[in-house]
Structure 1
Amino acid sequence: MKKLILFIVSDSVGETADLVAKAAASQFRQGLETVLIKRFSHVEDESQLDEIVYLAKQQNAIIIYTLVKSAMCQKLKQECRIKEIQCIDLLGPIIERIGMELGEKPLEEPGLVRQLDEDYFKKIEAIEFAVKYDDGRDPRGILRADIVLVGVSRTSKTPLSQYLAHKRFKVANVPLVPEVEPPEELFMIDPAKCYGLVISAEKLNFIRRERLIALGLKDDANYARVERIEAEITHFNNVVSKIGCNVIDVTNRAVEETANVILSELTNRHS
């Protein structure tokens, strides 16, 4: 049975070329059994290329590479031509075509796609965290969060949590209700990562009445009465005073504006 050796050469991890090689080999009945793949990752200088080409010649291997630096690509092509070794450039032609269409030169920085993947998964993790620890469902999330939001009902805690999660922050939010003792975890965290969201009684009265109407209920329920709202705000003030956290008035602020206040403060704190 004939054996074929493929050398995967990359200035990053080499996952892209490895997957492409396996996908191609899988198209043959005995491809995955007879094709041996050897990966050479993080190849960053020409001396490494010389060694790889030497080995490829000894083992009669085909080189498949994903090198983003043009100088390294040219070096490998030249050495393969001299040694009469077959080589396949997976990225070069695509990068060249995209550059021509965009009128730009490539960055030639290895590992950028991996950085993008890590950034993407960090955002997904933050979004899942915000969902899991929304509305005080599990107070354990308070201790794990980057940002903790507290406030009475209808102060945009959930949409603000999701907005900040898309910025890759793990956010937990906790509703404050006079009849329910706030979780003890709120008083165990660094007050600097906690933000209280306050709103005027008049504005909250309007929001809650509209909410009740949208649900097909009467708008004079206790939930929307000014006296009830004022009692909730008093309770809120007592709790945030005990926590010692910052308070943001969201009365006339959009979610994005409130988020920018928090993000600006975090940036200033770490600058």
Structure 2
Amino acid sequence: MSKLKFFIVSDSVGETAELVAKAAASQFRQDLDTVAMKRFSHIEEKSQLAEIAWLAEQQGAIVVYTLVRSEMRASLTQCCQEHNVQCIDLLGPIMQSIDHVLDERPIEEPGLVRQLDDDYFKKIEAIEFAVKYDDGRDPRGVLNADIVLVGISRTSKTPLSQYLAHQRFKVANVPLVPEVEPPAELYSIDPNKVFGLVISPEILNSIRKERLIALGLKDDASYAKIDRIEHEINHFNKVIKKIGCTVIDVSNRAVEETANVILSQKNTYEFEKIRKDLHR
């Protein structure tokens, strides 16, 4: 099977063109090891385009490009035609359509879509927060979190924290273990920020056994036994009752589904809070 080669050309990073090329290539090569991607980023000179077209001819590559300047797009198209190289312009046709609809000329300044804004910084800050306060590493994070997840081991606390962080929420998660006293911070914050994650003993038993095997250990350790799991769940129920927070059964839920439940509950609480404030 012949190898499929792409030259990704961009006046910015080139991520968009590479993703589109991979999506198209996957329809012909399910094994992406048979697909080669060479990225040419931050291309600003026409002389570079001529060299890229020549290299593409030598290697039998398809050129896929995202160039915002019309003169650069025209130049690369011409170079590829001269070298009999297939080339695909991803931005040009869309920009021309927008130009036609708005009757406005594009700015043609590379990299605008990647400019850092407040929304970007909030997302990065939330992701860093989730990492820093993962698995109860520092209980002080509970006081500054938008959302606090509480649960016993293997109830998806970490992946759920990361998913919510990508939605720009600062999330701390706290594991509950019968032998360890929960951090006092859990009892001093608004319980509407806290979400307890519970799971059926049978499903957790299976998950923990798989975890032990993945670590190269025997699956009959106390950690995976039903009686140990039930003991942990009983401890979880006592702590959650004391906190007075919402409990979500994650037994048959994907991370995205659990996140939607949390965000829906959080929105409901925020709306109720606003209504109360308006009536004061």
State whether TM-score is above 0.5: yes
Q: Please state how far the C-alpha of 1:116 moved relative to its aligned partner.
A: 6.3
Instruction: Tell me the equivalent position of 1:221.
Output: 221
| Alignment match of 1:100 (pick from 90, 96, 100) | 96
CA shift for structure 1 position 268 = 2.3
User: Which whole-Å CA distance do the structure 2 matches of 1:223 and 1:146 have between them?
Assistant: 31
CA contact (8 A) 1:99 1:106 kept: no
TM-score (norm 1): 0.60
CA deviation after TM superposition for structure 1 residue 114, in Å = 10
Q: For 2:117, what is the secondary structure of its paired residue?
A: helix
Contact 2:192–2:266, Cα closer than 8 Å, also in 1: no
Partner of 2:79: none
Alignment of 1:52-131 (within 5 A): 99-102=95-98, 104-105=101-102, 117-131=117-131
What pairs up with 1:1-271 in 2 under 5 angstroms? 99-102=95-98, 104-105=101-102, 117-271=117-271
Q: Which 5+ residue runs of structure 2 have no aligned equivalent?
A: 1-91, 105-111, 272-280
* TM-score, structure 2 as length reference: 0.58
- CA–CA distance in 2 between the matches of 1:256 and 1:180? 30
Change (3 A) 1:113 1:210: closer
Show structure 1 runs of 5+ residues with no match.
Answer: 1-95
Q: 1:204 & 1:124 partners in 2: Cα distance?
A: 32
What is the identity percentage for the equivalent residue pairs of Structure 1 and Structure 2?
A: 74
Runs of 4 or more, structure 1, over 6 Å off, are 112-116
Q: Over alpha carbons, which structure has the higher Rg?
A: 1
- The structural deviation recorded for 1:270 is 2.5
1:59-94: per-residue Cα shift (whole Å, max 9, x none)?
Answer: xxxxxxxxxxxxxxxxxxxxxxxxxxxxxxxxxxxx
Aligned residues: CA RMSD: 2.5
Matches of 2:191 and 2:270 in 1, distance apart? Answer: 16
Residues 152, 236 of structure 2: 8 Å contact kept = yes
Q: Distance in 1 between matches of 2:197 and 2:162?
A: 15
Aligned residues: 174
Tell me how far 1:104 sits from its aligned partner: 4.4
Contact 1:196/1:246 (8 A) holds in 2: yes
